[in-house]
Amino acid sequence: MSQYYELYRRSTLGFTLTEALDELIQSGHINPQLAMRVLNQFDKTITDVLAANVNNRITFKGSLKTYRFCDDVWTFNLQDANFRFEKDNVPSSKVKIVACNSKRPGEI
């Protein structure tokens, strides 16, 4: 079992990778076990690369409509949110934020 979250599989890149792997399985070029190994490596690599290379700061305000904490994952649903980047403000009528623990099992 992978120790990384599968969040980024829902991204455009993750969907595209999954579709390509499905096609390779259907055509008999790879087996499902190899496809799962590729997806697990994708989870690890994208998490590590984003952690190492993205260091922008953002602040936001909005009305918290619902929140949930399950399996070490927080989910927040906001309405009428405003995101402030260094130079830009970005308004949004609805936002869903999913936050996971960045530490891996065994890390302090």
Model pLDDT for residues 18-35, shown as the tens digit of each residue = 999 999 999 999 999 999
Quick one: 73 and 49 in the same domain? no
- Residue 3 region by backbone torsions, left for phi larger than 0, else alpha for psi between -120 and 50, else beta: alpha
Residue 2 lies in a domain: no
- CA distance from start to end of the chain: 21
Shared domain check, 32 and 70: no
For range 3-17, the mean pLDDT: 89
Q: Could you tell me the pLDDT band of residue 41, with boundaries at 50, 70 and 90?
A: very high
Q: Is the pTM of this model over 0.85?
A: no
- CA gap 44, 8 in Å, rounded: 10
Considering the domain architecture, whether residues 48 and 75 belong to the same structural domain is answered as no
Domain-located, residue 106: no
Containing domain of residue 25, as a range?
A: 7-53
Q: How far apart are CA 6 and CA 17, in angstroms?
A: 13
Please classify residue 38 by burial: count the beta carbons closer than 10 Å to its beta carbon, then call 0-12 exposed, 13-18 middle and 19+ buried. Answer: middle
Is there a single domain that holds both residue 46 and residue 65? no
Q: Cα dist. 12→8, 49, 80, 104 in Å?
A: 8, 17, 25, 25
Same structural domain for residues 49 and 12? yes
pLDDT, tens digit, 9 for 90 and up, residues 50-97: 889 988 889 999 999 999 999 888 999 999 999 998 889 999 999 999
Under a CB-based contact definition with an 8 Å cutoff, are residues 96 and 71 in contact? Answer: no
Inter-axis angle of helices 32-53 and 12-26, to 10 degrees?
Answer: 160
Residue 64 and residue 49 share a domain: no
CATH code, domain with 27? 1.10.287.190
Number of domains in the chain: 2
Residue 11 and residue 46 in one domain: yes
Q: Is residue 16 pLDDT above 90, yes or no? A: yes
